[in-house]
Structure 1
């Protein structure tokens, strides 16, 4: 609902979200446009943690489809 309500300052960067309910652990995936923009990604990650009410550290990385835009290096963010 936060995505629909544009609760993120960088709402133009957010493309979508997927919730997958799995036997071992549920998975939330937030899709963004610009994986290599660290400031935007960190801001989105902090707001995401606030919305889902998580205090533990979370780690996320960009999808393989974005790798060609960011080069061959792997980008991971810890929030």
Structure 2
């Protein structure tokens, strides 16, 4: 189980935990666009020591999963699942 947690902690994307705001706010227009919503959490500083906790949360999880799929397959999540 620890190895699985280590792999998940190594993802280059960090999310916006509910108790924090993004270091680089995206605004309303950015929240509706793919790249601002994947770039801002990726640039986010972790609020705790990396590997000790995770910060994925409901408001950013979809973009995080979609970006991992896009980086692996080169296609959007919707296209991949079609």
TM range (shorter): 0.3 to 0.5
The higher-RCO structure (CA 8 Å, 6+ apart) is 2
Q: Which has the higher strand share?
A: 1
TM-score (norm 2): 0.33
Q: Which has the higher helix share?
A: 2
TM-score (norm 1): 0.34
